[in-house]
Amino acid sequence: MLRVLHSEHEFSDRFISYMLARNIRVEEDLIDQLFNSSEKRLARTLLLLARFARRGSLKRCFLKYRKRCWRR
């Protein structure tokens, strides 16, 4: 992975952008859990799902969630 990151500049740029965006999303989720009421957290989750729906990946998201529910 290190070799590819050093040799493929376009890939490394995309990878770092992805990792930064993911890190920001995780931080936002943690802040959301700490400071917002359950109603606000639900509203935020629904807005995030609506964004997934626009990209056409909502079905995948629900399947993943359903699988997690069955594992418990």
Please report the DSSP string for 5-72 in residue order. Answer: HHH-HHHHHHHHHHHHHHHHHHHHHHHHHHHS-HHHHHHHHHHHHHHHHHHT-HHHHHHHHHHHHHH-
Percent over 90 (pLDDT), the chain: 28
Per-residue pLDDT at 37: 86
Q: pLDDT confidence of 61, banded at 50, 70, 90? A: low
> What value does the mean pLDDT take over residues 36-51?
85
Claim: this prediction has a pTM higher than 0.75 = no
pLDDT (mean) for 9-37: 91
